Amino acid sequence: MVEADFSATGTVYASTLIHVSAPNLPNPYHVGYVDLPEGVRIFGHFATADPVPPDCRVRVVAHERPDDQTGPFVRFRFFLDGPSNGRRNENG
């Protein structure tokens, strides 16, 4: 595995609302996939209780978390990125 730098913004590919409780997460919570300009699709949690439509712009924040069994891992969190949200991009 090689470490690489990626953009801090992306476009929502898909999201869903989870109603099952999980440790340290509100109930319900949103998860989904975000496409980055470099051609990478990543999975993470959305920092909102509102529905997140496809093609919505988001800001991506990576958090490195410790894991006692396999070493550190990266968790992604997505934040709504300004007034263009809810509008489809020029290609969609």
Q: How many domains does the chain have?
A: 1
Looking at residue 86, what is its pLDDT? 44
Task: Tell me, yes or no, whether 33 lies in a domain.
Answer: yes
Residue range(s) defining the domain that contains residue 75: 9-80
Task: Tell me, yes or no, whether 16 lies in a domain.
Answer: yes
Looking at residue 60, what is its pLDDT? 95
Residues 6 or more apart in contact with residue 85 via CB below 8 angstroms: 56, 57
Looking at residue 74, what is its pLDDT? 81
Looking at residue 1, what is its pLDDT? 65
Task: Tell me, yes or no, whether 74 lies in a domain.
Answer: yes
The answer to whether the beta carbons of residues 5 and 18 sit under 8 Å apart is no
Task: Tell me, yes or no, whether 86 lies in a domain.
Answer: no
Looking at residue 76, what is its pLDDT? 92
Task: Tell me, yes or no, whether 54 lies in a domain.
Answer: yes
Give, as one character, the DSSP assignment of residue 50: S
User: What is the pTM assigned to this prediction?
Assistant: 0.76
Task: Tell me, yes or no, whether 72 lies in a domain.
Answer: yes
CA nearest neighbour of 5 among 38, 34, 32, 33: 38
The answer to whether the beta carbons of residues 36 and 7 sit under 8 Å apart is yes
Spans of the chain, pLDDT less than 70: 1, 67-68, 71, 82-92
Which residue shows structure tokens 């990626």? 6
